[in-house]
Amino acid sequence: MSPRDRKLAYLAWITICLVWGTTFLAIRIALESLPVALLAGFRWLAAGLMLAAMLPFVREQFPPRSTWRSIALVGFLMNVLGNGLLVWAEQYVASGLTAVVVGMVPFWSVVVEALSPGGEQLTRGTLAGLAAGFGGILVLVWPELTVGGEGGRMFVAGIVALQVGSLGWAIGTSYTKRHRIGATPLASSALQMVFSGVMLMIVGTLAGEWTRVYFTPRSFGALLYLTVAGSVVGYTAYVYTLKHLPVSTVSLYAYVNPIIAVILGTLLAAEPLSPRILLAAVLVFGGIAIVRMAPKRKPIPQAARKAVA
C-alpha cells in the first residue's frame, strides 16, 4: 500500500469514528418529531437509493437476483432489528448511554460464533470478558430494577431492546461472513439499505405512524445528517478502511464512538453522567478488551464432536 493510500485510509477511519460517534445524538434529535420505524425507514431507504445511484460511477452493478433473499435477510437482522430497536430504545435511554450499551455487539458476536457450525470455542478469557461486560449492564439497570416505576421499566425495556438489536446485528454479521451475498460490499449494501428501508416503512405504516410525522428544522437536519453522513459517507469510509487497513485496526472505532457519543450527549443534550454510568462503561469497555485479547481456541473437528457425543 502506498503512503498516500495509507494516509487516506487513516483519514477514512477518523471519519468513521467522528461520524458514527455523532449519529446517536442525531437519532435522539430526529425523534423529537419523527416516529421510530418511519425515521429509520426514511434514513435507510434514502441512503440506499443514494448509494445505488453512485454504483454506475464506480463501475459496479447490482448483485444478481439469486442473492437478493440473503441480502434482505441481512438487512432485516442488521438494520430493521439492530438499528430499528436502537432507535426505539433512544426514546428511553440517553444517546451516550445507548452507544455504550451497543458496544456489547462484540460480545454477542463471540457467542454467535461459538454456537455456529465450525465456530471458535469459548475460552476462559472470553468468558471473563463476557462476565465483565454483562456485569456493566447489570450495574446500569440495577437501580431501575429495584426501584421500579414507569420510567424505570421503560429504561430497562430500552436496555433489553438494545441487547436484542445487538444480537441481531451479530447474527447478520456472522451470516454475511459465511454466505456470498453480492459481488462487492458497496453494491450489496446499497440493496440491503433499500430492502431495510422498505421493511421499516411497512412496519411504520402498519403501526399507524404516518399521522405522527411532522418535520422541524432540527429533526429534518438530523435525518439528513443520518442519511448522508451516517449512512452514505460513513459506510463508504468503512468499506475503504477495510480494503486498506487490518480489521483489528478498523474495529477500534467501537471504542471511540461511545466516548464521542457520551461527550456530545452530556454537553449538547444535558444527559446525565453519574459515577454509576462511568463504572458501567468501564466494565463494558474492559470486557470488550478482554474478549479481543483472549487467545482463540480452534473449533472441535466434526469427527471429534461425534466421538464426544
Domain count, the chain: 1
287 in a domain, yes or no? Answer: yes
pLDDT on residue 288: 74
308 in a domain, yes or no? Answer: no
> CA-CA distance, 104 to 284, in Å (whole number)?
7
Query: Shortest CA distance to 71 belongs to which of 178, 193, 166, 165?
Result: 193
42 in a domain, yes or no? Answer: yes
Q: How confident is the model at residue 309 (pLDDT cuts 50, 70, 90)?
A: very low
* Structure-block grid coordinates of residue 95: 444517546
pLDDT on residue 53: 92
Give bridge partners of residue 131 from the DSSP assignment.
none
* Structure-block grid coordinates of residue 280: 458501567
53 in a domain, yes or no? Answer: yes
- pLDDT tens per residue across span 51-61: 999 888 888 88
> CA-CA distance, 120 to 5, in Å (whole number)?
33
Q: Work out the angle at residue 120's Cα, subtended by the Cα atoms of residues 118 and 126, and round it to the nearest 5 degrees.
A: 160
268 contacts 50 by C-beta, under 8 angstroms: no
Give 150 or 82, the one with higher predicted confidence: 82
- Mean predicted confidence (pLDDT) in 118-129: 75
303 in a domain, yes or no? Answer: no
Which of 29-38, 63-72, 159-168 ranks highest by mean pLDDT?
29-38
134 in a domain, yes or no? Answer: yes
Chain centre to alpha carbon of residue 72:
17
Does the pLDDT of residue 240 top 50, yes or no? yes
211 in a domain, yes or no? Answer: yes
pLDDT on residue 104: 77
Burial category of 99 from C-beta neighbours within 10 Å (exposed 0-12, middle 13-18, buried 19 and up): buried
> CA-CA distance, 279 to 238, in Å (whole number)?
30
Plot region of 118 (φ>0 → left; ψ -120 to 50 → alpha; else → beta): left
* Structure-block grid coordinates of residue 50: 443514494
* Domain assignment of residue 268, given as a range: 3-295
Does the pLDDT of residue 308 top 50, yes or no? no
> CA-CA distance, 136 to 284, in Å (whole number)?
5
Percent of the chain with pLDDT over 70: 89
Does the pLDDT of residue 12 top 80, yes or no? yes
306 in a domain, yes or no? Answer: no
> CA-CA distance, 140 to 160, in Å (whole number)?
12
pLDDT on residue 145: 63
> CA-CA distance, 23 to 108, in Å (whole number)?
22
Mean pLDDT of the chain: 83
Q: How confident is the model at residue 100 (pLDDT cuts 50, 70, 90)?
A: confident
Q: How confident is the model at residue 300 (pLDDT cuts 50, 70, 90)?
A: very low
197 contacts 75 by C-beta, under 8 angstroms: no
* Structure-block grid coordinates of residue 27: 437519532
Radius of gyration, CA atoms only, the chain? 20
- pLDDT tens per residue across span 162-193: 999 989 988 887 887 777 666 677 888 899 99
Three-class DSSP labels, 22-61: HHHHHHHHHCCCCCHHHHHHHHHHHHHHHHHHHHHHHCCC
